[in-house]
Amino acid sequence: MAESMALRTSAAPFSCARGGGTPGWGKGGADLLKRAFVAPDPGRVRLRFASRAVLGIGLAVASCGLTGHSLVATITGGLAALLALFTVTDATVRDQAVTTALLPAAGLPVLTLAAFLHAVPAARDAAFLAVVGVGVYARRWGPRGHSLGVFAFMTFFAAQFLHTVPDRLPGLASAVLLSVATAAAVRFGVWPYERHLPAPAAVAPPADGTGLARITTRQAVQATVGAGFALVVGQALSDQRWYWAVGATWWVFVNTTSRGETLVRGFRRFLGTVLGIVLGLAVALPLHGEPVATATVVAAGVFGIFYTAAVSYTWMMLSVTVMASALYGLLGLLDPALLALRVTETAVGALGAVLAVLLVLPVTTHSVTDAWVERALRCVHVCTAEAAARLAGSATADPAGRVAELEQILARVRLSLAPLVHPLSPLPARKGRARHVLALLDDCAREVRGLASVAADPEASHDTRLVAACWRVEAAVEALTAPRAGGRTDPALTAVASSAAVSEPVLLHLHALERALLELAGPLRGSGRVSIGA
């Protein structure tokens, strides 16, 4: 059931967590622990996000219990509340509320379908694979499509976990509705901290054509094929817990685009599951389903899931597995053999995802990375244009808003570069180039933030030197992203290099930005286009 926690790390509450896309085993467990629990948390957004999740899910579970729902229905309601609090990542509070209200409309029909097909394995399996494909394809409609797709998939998954039959539908449906409503009340009424945060920029994926050229279409096909492999092999291993393998395949695909990202995600999922099994044996197994102690472990698991998701997928999966172990103990099903089977089924699901992305309509890592890096550079261009307009006296120009968008794009750049900078990457030259690009893009973001603060200063307005420097930066970005034949140095980039040094503090940000753009020309233009993977 608890597979539901492998969620989008680019969600709005996580946008402040720098480096969330590139965690790995690194120097060992201590490094992972530091990354997960000592990582910067500006404004304590992750802490509030995790604390609110514990409150919202706890109230949803209590509401189900107090209204006489069965244990199975209560677990279903807790899952629905978790998904409502975790998967809904629209840019505005209003859009979040609309998506939350739509979740039951996506989940309840799927729950009904799963219940009526429970006794017809062939039709049930076909329907499950269809839900996988449609759920992944729905990402083309942005955060709302993603949230509804996840909710639909997890509803079908939970029906397998709970052996849902038609007679149980009324209780399960009412528990879902009650829990989503409770979670919404907490999110939008009791603890609506998003209202006091800047609205995150809505960053859509780069345009990727139509038909099979569209990345979401390719991923839908890949996920369906990978899930089919996992389903067949998973059923050969266990006719009771086969759905674990399908769930593992699904979650490996969440928030990944290229084959490299999927390979890294599969490795991290398996690693987190293994570590979680070890911890589950030490923590959950001795409890023997004791309610109060189990509830404490589950609450700690929920907190860990929400708190670490932005910075470490491995730690998030560890938290998922510990929480799942505690829930199985509550149901009286936990034993070492079950945990060992979970590891095996997870490995099968990860293998299915890996085979699918390597063999079925593969999307190369460098093609995705190139698109996101160019998107980041274009956003730098727009930021400087907004700053120039503000400095020229425009009252409507808003460089700060564009800076927020740049931060969102850079988070996606880090995710796409994760395969190249991973400690196990076998390509040292590309690893070094990717790290260099990441460092320079971070430099650009830092200087753009400084530029936005300068432009907001009324005393800096109408400064012709600042406006001219902004135009030079724009020209440099155009030169860097425009297709160019041959190995010649672009004149616009040469102009950036020849900018005279100045001592005025207000100009330092722009000249540092110009220097970073000049240095980016080396790793990005070696093939005549913006490219890291070449």
Domain boundaries, the chain: 40-196, 215-363, 365-524
Q: What does the alpha-carbon distance between residue 390 and residue 401 come to, in Å, rounded to a whole number?
A: 13
**Residues 164, 111 contacting (CB under 8 angstroms):** yes
pLDDT tens column, 76-119: 999 999 999 999 988 889 999 999 999 999 999 999 999 999 99
For the cut 60, the answer to whether the pLDDT of residue 530 exceeds it is no
What pLDDT shows up at residue 36?
Answer: 56
Higher pLDDT, 205 or 520: 520
**Residues 225, 356 contacting (CB under 8 angstroms):** yes
pLDDT tens column, 467-504: 677 777 777 777 777 655 444 445 445 444 444 444 45
**Can you list the alpha helix ranges (DSSP code H) found in 239-364?**
243-253, 259-283, 291-308, 313-330, 336-359
What pLDDT shows up at residue 532?
Answer: 52
For the cut 60, the answer to whether the pLDDT of residue 230 exceeds it is yes
Higher pLDDT, 21 or 232: 232
What pLDDT shows up at residue 35?
Answer: 55
What pLDDT shows up at residue 529?
Answer: 42
pLDDT tens column, 358-378: 898 887 777 778 888 888 888
Q: Which DSSP symbol is given to 189?
A: I
Q: What does the alpha-carbon distance between residue 126 and residue 136 come to, in Å, rounded to a whole number?
A: 16
Higher pLDDT, 423 or 10: 423
For the cut 90, the answer to whether the pLDDT of residue 257 exceeds it is no
What pLDDT shows up at residue 120?
Answer: 95
Question: Residue 6 in 3-state DSSP?
Answer: coil
Q: Give the residue from 66, 97, 100, 98 showing the smallest Cα distance to 80.
A: 100
41: tokens are 């948390």
